[in-house]
Amino acid sequence: MNKKLEVQDLGRIDYKEAWDFQEDLFAKTLAIKVNNRRTGATETTPNHLLFVEHPHVFTLGKSGDIQNLLASEELLKEKGARFYRINRGGDITYHGPGQIVAYPILDLENFFTDIHKYLRFLEEAVILTLAEYSIIATRSPGETGVWLDVGTPFARKICAMGVRASRWVTMHGLALNVNVDLGYFDLMIPCGIKGKAVTSMTAELGGVAQDEEAIKAALLKNICALFEAEL
């Protein structure tokens, strides 16, 4: 099993461009696996982790409801935002400047074959990272992602997640709100969950802008520790 993680920071990149890049890595990994099984070859599959930031964009997952997007096409244009229907799980999500987006394209057969464990590990990596900034976060039963004050009237989401997997190869991932403009979340019903607020690290830390590079480094460290991955 190959536990080496190849990390790339693509910077700010259009959502569709990043999606196409993911799809290419995903397809190449699947092709190796298919060839190994067909021919008996033992070529090692790679594991990728992409860090990106997107211009304003709303994406709707396979099971999502378009009614959860509250903005018209005209308003999206006015706000400088785009919209895509995509092939991950989950409902509607916003990405934008000030948000750390991580896309793991992993062959889980290099680690473990359990999608639920995979999702929990991604959540745990975020929870551990937030704890380093004195933000106490947790999971919300039945709601993928990372939350604060679960079980209270003040429950709010700080990290959204949505993944796709085929033959144990993953793509898409997580979006952690750091210095993001929370006003854009008013243009949708986040993840299709009514009555729940969205927050950011900046909002939780008294409005002080946070060092995104340091947070990415902490998140990478925690992902590697949980997955026992090597750089």
Tokens of 95: 């990405």
What are residue 161's DSSP bridge partners?
Answer: 174
State the burial class of residue 79 (Cβ atoms within 10 Å of its Cβ: 0-12, 13-18, 19+): middle
Rg (CA), the chain: 17
Q: Which residues contact 40 (CB under 8 A, 6 or more apart)?
A: none
- Active-site positions? 191
User: What Cα–Cα distance (Å) separates residue 183 from each residue in 157, 186, 202?
Assistant: 14, 6, 13
